[in-house]
Structure formats: structure tokens, C-alpha cells
């Protein structure tokens, strides 16, 4: 048993905020869907565990959107539902802790007419998928700029017009009951994060489980673009190994792995056109790129138990010589773990393969790292430590990168359908 690190609620909340970065135009869509689906599950008289599954399933229902082109708008969601749901289900199936949500997400866009013919053993997830589907539709119909109580009648009519082909009659009558409760609609528009902030399931999560859960997040960050498809995986294993060689404690090393998984989580805010630009970025583009480290910090600092992880992850572009970004830290202001992370990041970025270039050869990588250390951008002792154990670390990084790249290709293929 490893020590408790944080809580499920804090992790899920950070994750949801990260998802919101991808498409700011769909304001709090995930929160709204999870809020409304949870209320539906209460109105249906679901058990506590079913309600929790409904809540998490609803939060994750659009997780597949990370692999779609560009920024996601409401139109995209409506016009490519099955691809989104399939990709999301694939991502969730990769991990034991989220596998139970996979079926829910996979069917979250399926009409009742199709679902009702499924065999009995999928009955429970089927009902949850329907609640997510209805809540998703409600969220898409909801306008931000019209008084919410003046919209209920119209939304109700619209849902019934779509009707029993699309929705289970039992879920429809739970929806009708909710239409009578003003506070539900007021919460939906004005406080959709209500349950996220005050979730009854405030379960504690160990360091080891956090590593696994953040691997899912890192895959979502990486899979956004083939240019980054294996990056976080390589950084995480490099950072953890370097930390161990540098004498950090076992617990700290595990936290370094988590920080490595999440160091680029703020990249969800960066448009794909910038992430995928093979050449040099213009000054304007680079300014946008700089936002990612800032958002990594904003997302992680509110997670309980992540005091060090947030700094180790978010300060990976700070430089000892004060020429980094975005906090302009220098020298002693940069924690040791952040210096390790910076070396792991540069090393992985130059050594890994990208669609437009091969990974650099060992000698060239060493040259790059040493010249960065000379300029005072990277820590000299940590760079030398990496060079001393180069082959061992590179083999680990390469294995992680290859595995990540394989998973990416498989997910991409499956999401495009066959």
C-alpha cells in the first residue's frame, strides 16, 4: 500500500478544468452534463454507486474530443458524435480505474431504439448512457444569454419532440420531474460545478493510483497531436529515473513521475496549428505557446497534495539564467525537482522521433544538453548525471515512447472506424 497523496475529487476537478481548456467556447459543458445527469440519476432513484458512475461517465463523455481536429465547437459535437464516443471509450478502456466508464461513454450518443435491444447484462450501463445522452442534449440546447427559467419550456418541448426513439421513457419522465424544479435549472446554468466542488465521493487516492490516473491524462495531452503523441510518457520516465539517480526519496521519485505525466497539461489550451508547426514559431505564436506552462500551474496548484508536483511540473521552462518562462524564476528560486524536469523535457524533446524528423543521435543530444548547461539554461550537474547514465535512461525513454506511439496509432485507427 502506498501512502495517500490526494483525493479523487481534486484529480477529477483538475481533469475537467483541463478538458475545458480545449474548447473554451463550450463553457463548462462537462460540468453541466455531469450535474444534470447526476440529478437525473437521483430522480430515477439510482443507487449511490450508480449515481457516482453516472457523474463520472458524464464528466468523461467527451474525452474523445482531444483527438479531433482543431478546437471543438458545439457543432462538431453534434455532427460527429459516434466517432467522439468511440475514441473516448477506447481511451478509458486502457486503464483499470476508468474501464467501467468506457461502456457508458461508448453508448452515450446512442438512441434508445438501438440500446433497448441490447442484452440484459448491459442494462445498468445502458440506463446510465441514456442519462448522459439526455443531459448532453440539454446542455447543448441551453443558451448562456437567456434567463434560464425562460428556457425550460422550450427545452422540454424539444426533448419530447426528439422523443422516445432517442430516449428511454423512464429517463424522459425523470427529466419531466426535473423540469418542475427551478433550482435544478438555476444550478445548471449558474453553478454547474456544484458537485465537483463538493462531491460526496471524496475518496483518497494513493501515490501509485495517482500515477495510473495521471497516465490517462498524459495520454490525452499527448494524443492531441501526432507531434506530441509520445512526449509526456518519455519525460515522465526520464524524470523519475533521474530523480532516483540524484538521490530523491522513493516517494519523491513517484511524485516526479506524476509531474512528468502532467508537465504539459496546459498544452490543451494551445491550438493544434501551433503545436504542429514544424518550423520556428513566430513571436506571436511563441507567446501563445508560453501559456501552456502557466496553465499547468493553474490546473495543478489546487490539487490537494500536489504542492511540489505543481511546481516541478509547471516550472519546466524556467531557466537558471532567468531566461525561461512564464514566472521568470532564476537560480535558487527554481526547485531541484523542476531542474530535473527541465533536463528530462529537453532530453526527451530532442531524442524522440517526430513526424517531420528522426530523433537526434546520442552525440548530438549530448552536445545540445551540454551547450544548454554552459549557457546556464539547464543545471550542469543534472545534465552530467544524465550523460553518465545515458544508455540506461535512453532505453527506458525509448521503450515508453514506442509503447505510447503504438497506443496512439491503434487509438487513431480505431477511432476512425473500420
Residues that bind Fe ion (CB under 5 A): 264, 345
> By C-beta, is 115 or 342 nearer to Fe ion?
342
> By C-beta, is 31 or 345 nearer to Fe ion?
345
- The whole-angstrom separation of Cα 349 and Cα 249 is 26
> By C-beta, is 23 or 238 nearer to Fe ion?
238
Compute how many other C-beta atoms are within 10 angstroms of the C-beta atom of residue 275.
16
> By C-beta, is 46 or 382 nearer to Fe ion?
382
| Helix residue ranges, H only, 264-379 | 272-275, 283-300, 307-314, 336-351, 362-374
**Least separation, in Å, of the C-beta of 13 and Fe ion?**
22
**Least separation, in Å, of the C-beta of 316 and Fe ion?**
6
> By C-beta, is 77 or 211 nearer to Fe ion?
211
- The whole-angstrom separation of Cα 220 and Cα 15 is 10
DSSP-assigned letters across all residues of 41-97: HHHTT--HHHHHHHHHHHHHTTGGGGGSSSS--HHHHHHSHHHHHHHHHHHHHTSTT
Burial category of 304 from C-beta neighbours within 10 Å (exposed 0-12, middle 13-18, buried 19 and up): middle
**Least separation, in Å, of the C-beta of 346 and Fe ion?**
9
Cβ atoms of 219 and 66 closer than 8 Å: no
**Least separation, in Å, of the C-beta of 90 and Fe ion?**
24
For residue 112, whether the previous peptide bond is cis, meaning omega lies within 30 degrees of 0, is no
Dmax over CA atoms of the chain, in Å, equals: 70
Rounded alpha-carbon distances, angstroms, from residue 331 to 107, 318, 334, 345: 52, 10, 6, 18
> By C-beta, is 16 or 348 nearer to Fe ion?
348
Cβ atoms of 101 and 216 closer than 8 Å: no
Closest by Cα among 312, 318, 272, 263 to 292:
263
**Least separation, in Å, of the C-beta of 293 and Fe ion?**
6
> By C-beta, is 168 or 264 nearer to Fe ion?
264
Q: Which of helix, strand or coil describes residue 181?
A: coil
Cβ neighbours of residue 11 under 8 Å, at least 6 residues apart?
205, 210, 213, 214, 303
**Least separation, in Å, of the C-beta of 246 and Fe ion?**
19
- The whole-angstrom separation of Cα 215 and Cα 405 is 14
Kindly report the backbone phi and psi dihedral angles of residue 5, in degrees, each rounded to the nearest multiple of 5, phi listed first. Answer: -115, -50
Joined together, the cell numbers standing for residue 115 give 440500446
**Least separation, in Å, of the C-beta of 247 and Fe ion?**
24
> By C-beta, is 9 or 263 nearer to Fe ion?
263
**Least separation, in Å, of the C-beta of 341 and Fe ion?**
9
> By C-beta, is 264 or 318 nearer to Fe ion?
264
> By C-beta, is 166 or 264 nearer to Fe ion?
264
Joined together, the cell numbers standing for residue 256 give 516526479
Closest by Cα among 106, 90, 107 to 167:
107
Amino acid at each position: 500500500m502506498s501512502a495517500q497523496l490526494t483525493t479523487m475529487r481534486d484529480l477529477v476537478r483538475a481533469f475537467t478544468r483541463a478538458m475545458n481548456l480545449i474548447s473554451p467556447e463550450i463553457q463548462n459543458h462537462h460540468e453541466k452534463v455531469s450535474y444534470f445527469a447526476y440529478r437525473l440519476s437521483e430522480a430515477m432513484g439510482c443507487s449511490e454507486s450508480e449515481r457516482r458512475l453516472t457523474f463520472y461517465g458524464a464528466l468523461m463523455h467527451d474525452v474523445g474530443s482531444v483527438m479531433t481536429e482543431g478546437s471543438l465547437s458545439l457543432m462538431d459535437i453534434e455532427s460527429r458524435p459516434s466517432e467522439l464516443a468511440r475514441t473516448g471509450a477506447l481511451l478509458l478502456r486502457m486503464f483499470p480505474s476508468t474501464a467501467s466508464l468506457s461502456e457508458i461513454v461508448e453508448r452515450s450518443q446512442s438512441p434508445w431504439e438501438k440500446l433497448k435491444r441490447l442484452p440484459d447484462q448491459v442494462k445498468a450501463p445502458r440506463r446510465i448512457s441514456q442519462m448522459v445522452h439526455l443531459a448532453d442534449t440539454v446542455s447543448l440546447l441551453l443558451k448562456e444569454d437567456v434567463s434560464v427559467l425562460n428556457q425550460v419550456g422550450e427545452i422540454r418541448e424539444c426533448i419530447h419532440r426528439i422523443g422516445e426513439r432517442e430516449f428511454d421513457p423512464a429517463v424522459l419522465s425523470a427529466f419531466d420531474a426535473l423540469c418542475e424544479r427551478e433550482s435544478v435549472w438555476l444550478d445548471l446554468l449558474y453553478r454547474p460545478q456544484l458537485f465537483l466542488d463538493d462531491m460526496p465521493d471524496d475518496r483518497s487516492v494513493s501515490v501509485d493510483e495517482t500515477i495510473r490516473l495521471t497516465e490517462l491524462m498524459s495520454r490525452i495531452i499527448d494524443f492531441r497531436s501526432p507531434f506530441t503523441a509520445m512526449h509526456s510518457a518519455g519525460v515522465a520516465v526520464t524524470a523519475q529515473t533521474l530523480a532516483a539517480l540524484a538521490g530523491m526519496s522513493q516517494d519523491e521519485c513517484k511524485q516526479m513521475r506524476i509531474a512528468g505525466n502532467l508537465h504539459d497539461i496546459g498544452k490543451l489550451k494551445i491550438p493544434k496549428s501551433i503545436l504542429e508547426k514544424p518550423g520556428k514559431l513566430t513571436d506571436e505564436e511563441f507567446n501563445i505557446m508560453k501559456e501552456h506552462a502557466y496553465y499547468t500551474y493553474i490546473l495543478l496548484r489546487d490539487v490537494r497534495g500536489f504542492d511540489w508536483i505543481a511546481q516541478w511540473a509547471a516550472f519546466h521552462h524556467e531557466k537558471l539564467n532567468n531566461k525561461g518562462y512564464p514566472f521568470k524564476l532564476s537560480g535558487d528560486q527554481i526547485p531541484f525537482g523542476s531542474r530535473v524536469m527541465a533536463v528530462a523535457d529537453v532530453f526527451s524533446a530532442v531524442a524522440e522521433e517526430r513526424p517531420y524528423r528522426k530523433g537526434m543521435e546520442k552525440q548530438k543530444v549530448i552536445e545540445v544538453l551540454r551547450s544548454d548547461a554552459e549557457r546556464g539554461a539547464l543545471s550542469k550537474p543534472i545534465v552530467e548525471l544524465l550523460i553518465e547514465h545515458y544508455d540506461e535512461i535512453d532505453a527506458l525513454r525509448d521503450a515508453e515512447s514506442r509503447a505510447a506511439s503504438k497506443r496512439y496509432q491503434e487509438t487513431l485507427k480505431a477511432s476512425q472506424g473500420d
